[in-house]
Amino acid sequence: MPEFAPGQAPAATRRPDRDEFDALVREWKATRGHTSSAAKMAKNPAYQRIIAMGNVVVPLILAELGKQPDHWFLALNAITGANPVPPGCRTINEMADAWLTWGAANDSIH
């Protein structure tokens, strides 16, 4: 029977996109610093690598938004070209709700 390093799943059960995404999310959150500027947060190399992963991460980002709203809006816009946030939305929760509604309508959460 093959042995795996602690915390390492067999190759057949690993999800490269999910595993890479999760690692990049942790890196982004750890390295983005204390800023209220979404544009500065979006320039973070880990955030840019998430964007570069393309459509495959849209459901993962939406799931993150569902768990805890965060500044994913520039990434979602860059990947999808959509902007479902209506004018007048001012809070991160309102923006997250708009994207989650968009994701459900576009079958992107599955």
The model's pLDDT over 89-104, given as tens digits with 9 standing for 90+, comes to: 989 999 999 999 999 9
Task: Give the Cα separation of 25 and 5 in Å (integer).
Answer: 23
Q: Which tens digit of pLDDT belongs to each residue from 24-49? A: 999 999 998 777 777 788 899 999 99
Q: Closest Cα to residue 49, out of 78, 7, 71?
A: 78
Specify the pLDDT at position 109.
Answer: 52
Instruction: Show Cβ contacts of residue 39 under 8 Å, excluding neighbours closer than 6 positions.
Output: 74
Q: Is residue 95 helix, strand or coil?
A: helix
Task: Give the Cα separation of 96 and 104 in Å (integer).
Answer: 12
pTM, to two decimals: 0.80
